Structure 1
Amino acid sequence: MEIIEKAPAKINLGLDVLYKREDGYHELEMIMSSVDLADRLIITPLKTNEIIIKTNSGFLPTDRKNNIYQTIEIMKHAFHIQQGISVQLVKNIPVAAGLGGGSSDAAATFRGLNRLFELNATKEDMVKLSVPIGTDVPYCIYGQTSLVKGLGEIVEPLTHSMPSCWVVLVKPKLSISTPKVFAKLSLDELYHPNINALKKAIEQQDYFEMTQHLGNSLESYTMKKYPIVSEIKQKMLAFGADAAVMSGSGPTVLALCQKQSRAIRIANGLKGFCQEVYVVRTLKD
């Protein structure tokens, strides 16, 4: 028996860094949603008690440094699973891109093992177990448009998905370490998007109003250090995007378009500038 799970990419429509906590981490407030660019996991039980991860990506470790491996260890311990597990990962989401690929892979592993072994774990159960793996994993377990707070462990699904539209994702040829970005942040210089206004616009299904409130506190640091990220955003807007914003700590920038023709025009305009360009749809809950 095998279980197949999709692991969709996440995007940040809004990301606000509120303050630095006493534990040294930063308090966040974000609006996240998911798109139909996805990794695929094939999960199979083994007769021998071992963990085997295989992937088509040469960039990913397949040992304990891998989020899938860590998730399997956590689930085996929490639910006393004695069987071994093999995971074949078909990687489609760019690595270290601000799209939560590794986190979504971990979330898909939680869901897949829950199904495979009929554990009857709730989303809340899995979220509690997922916190040590990464801040985006709790959101990816829910996988629907949500307000996300704290370190990422507080997930409040919104009453509606974000209004349906086309999303152009563009990743320049560089990778960004999220911990390093947060370590270098100057809180006094940050832009703070209006997360409440963004949330209200989504819940009212007002696409135009939503586009007016996209924002990311981390843009100022990443764009200053990597000017190509700013160039991508400006080109998207010049080519007619309804709105554009950096996802996560970058370097991927996303553009929203109501019309597919305009999304394709933006993608074509940027393909000569960056190799990794995707035109995708938003996912409905």
Structure 2
Amino acid sequence: MITFPNAKINLGLNIVAKRPDGYHDIETVFYPIPLRDALEIVPSRSGKTELHISGIKIDGDPEKNLIMQAYRSFQSRFDLPPLDIYLHKAIPFGAGLGGGSADAAYMLNMLRTFFKLPISDDELCESASSLGADCPFFIYNHPLMAEGIGDIFTPVNVSLKGYHIILVKPPVAVPTAEAYAKVKPTKPTLRIPDIINKPVTEWKAELVNDFESSVFTAHPDIKKIKETLYNEGADYASMSGSGSAVYGLFREKKNIKKLFPGHLVWDGICEI
């Protein structure tokens, strides 16, 4: 069985308060985009569960990968047989695109379907949330306002269907802990759902990502990407999440890959 986990971008990101538990309350809109990994499961040939990764190289112990954590969580509950798991990685990590969370959420959903597990949609989302605050978003996989630590979701009415999106990932990752350490929580004057109800051409002045000020100071090359996208005619450009990927929304297709040598550049068309 094969599925294709997709990435997300953030439409705005306000860091509104620091919590007593050390986490931060945020407000953002998660929006799915058609940049996809490929994830396949088949019965194991070796008698043990193994994760095989191609595409973008991922360092570290495969057992710590969220895909394996998703499998182990259901294996312990339902006595699942061993599997060979194949991941072709196309969504860059350390980019603010939610690729690891998407892989984990799709893995849970695929296991439910493949093994016909008696799990409701609510239980599936609860299992996903145990792996990461944003994992349940990829179960719903349509635009949602995220609040709290990014785990409280409400529907929003926003469509970018037909917009061309260019995503630029520089050869640097921004650790989430580093990004949070340098921000000052502030209650926004305008809420994101109110801003995104306006035309995209009006977002530039009001729809902000609070991580940009500190990340751009530490990584001026990321700031330069955003400036270049605007110079090339983007209606709106922003860093996604805590970075380091930056996206631009264009009404027409643009061939600007040559402007970003050494960077990963992806372009597609918004589908929702």
TM-score under structure 1 length normalisation: 0.86
| Aligned residue in 1 for 2:63 | 64
Question: Residue 79 of structure 2 aligns to a residue in which SS?
Answer: coil
3-state SS, counterpart of residue 94 of structure 1: coil
- Residues 68-113 of structure 1 show CA distances to partners (whole Å, capped at 9, x for unaligned) of 01111112234x2331122100011112111111111111101111
The Cα RMSD (Å) is 2.3
8 Å contact from structure 2 (residues 203, 236) kept in 1:
no
Deviation of residue 257 (structure 1)? 0.7
Q: CA 1:35/1:12 → structure 2, altered by over 3 Å: closer, same or farther? A: same
Structure 2 distance, partners of 1:191, 1:155, is 19
- Distance in 2 (CA, whole Å) between partners of 1:152 and 1:12 is 11
Tell me the equivalent position of 2:269: 281
Residue 126 of structure 1: which of 119, 124, 127 is its match?
Answer: 124
- Residue 113 of structure 1, aligned match among 111, 114, 118: 111
- Local SS of the residue matching 1:33: strand
What are the superposed Cα offsets for residues 187-236 of structure 1, whole Å, 9 maximum, x if unpaired? 36x977641323434xxxx4444565432111111111111111111111
Quick one: which of 197, 201, 204 aligns to 1:200?
Answer: 197
Structure 1 CA distance for aligned equivalents of residues 74 and 161 of structure 2: 35
Per mean C-alpha deviation after superposition, the further-off stretch among 103-112 and 54-63 is 54-63
Contact residue 42 and residue 88 of structure 1 kept, 8 A: yes
Structure 1 residues 68, 195: CA separation in 2 closer, same or farther (over 3 Å shift)?
Answer: same
- C-alpha change, 1:192 and 1:41, in structure 2 (3 Å) is farther
8 Å CA contact 2:238–2:247 kept in 1: the answer is yes
How many corresponding residue pairs?
271
Q: Residue 25 of structure 1 is aligned with which of 18, 23, 33? A: 23
Equivalent position of 2:162 in the other structure: 164
Equivalent position of 1:148 in the other structure: 146
**1:147 partner amino acid:** M
Identity of aligned residues (%): 30
Q: CA shift at 1:158, angstroms?
A: 2.7
2:42 to 33, 41, 44: 44
Q: 2:45 touches 2:84 (CA, 8 Å); kept in 1?
A: no
For 1:39 and 1:155, how far apart are their aligned partners in 2? 24
1:243 aligned partner, one-letter code? Y
Compared CA separation, residues 210 and 183, structure 1 to 2 (3 A):
closer
- Relative to structure 1, the CA distance from residue 66 to residue 217 in structure 2 (aligned partners, 3 Å threshold; closer, same or farther) is same
Tell me which moved more, 29-38 or 136-145.
Answer: 136-145
User: Using the alignment, how far apart are the partners of 1:48 and 1:42 within structure 2?
Assistant: 16
Post-superposition offset of 1:47: 7.5
Task: State the distance in 2 between where 1:283 and 1:122 align.
Answer: 27
AA at the equivalent of 1:217: D
Secondary structure of 2:217's aligned partner: helix
Aligned position for 1:259:
252
**Cα displacement (A) at 1:46:** 3.3
Residue 121 (structure 1) shift: 2.7
Structure 1 residue 45: deviation in Å? 3.2
CA drift of 1:62 comes to 4.8
TM-aligned CA deviation for residue 16 of structure 1: 1.0
Matched residue of 2:126: which SS?
helix
Please identify, of 69-78 and 247-256, the stretch whose mean Cα deviation from structure 2 is larger: 69-78
TM-score, normalised with respect to structure 2: 0.90
Contact 2:162 2:269 in 1 (8 A): yes
Q: In the TM superposition, what are the counterparts of 1:226-241 in structure 2 within 5 Å?
A: 226-241=219-234
User: Does the aligned pair in 1 maintain the 2:11–2:30 contact within 8 Å?
Assistant: yes
| DSSP-derived class of the 2:229 partner | helix
Gaps of 5+ in 1: none
Q: Secondary structure at the match of 2:138?
A: helix
Q: Is the 8 A contact 2:161 2:269 kept in 1?
A: no
Distance 1:238 1:161 in 2: 24
SS in 2 for 1:137: coil
- CA 1:67 to 1:243, structure 2 compared with 1: closer, same or farther past 3 Å? same
- For residues 175-186 of structure 1, the aligned pairs below 5 Å read 175-186=173-184
CA distance in 2, matches of 1:271, 1:33: 24
Q: Give, as a single letter, the amino acid of the residue that structure 2 aligns with 1:255.
A: G
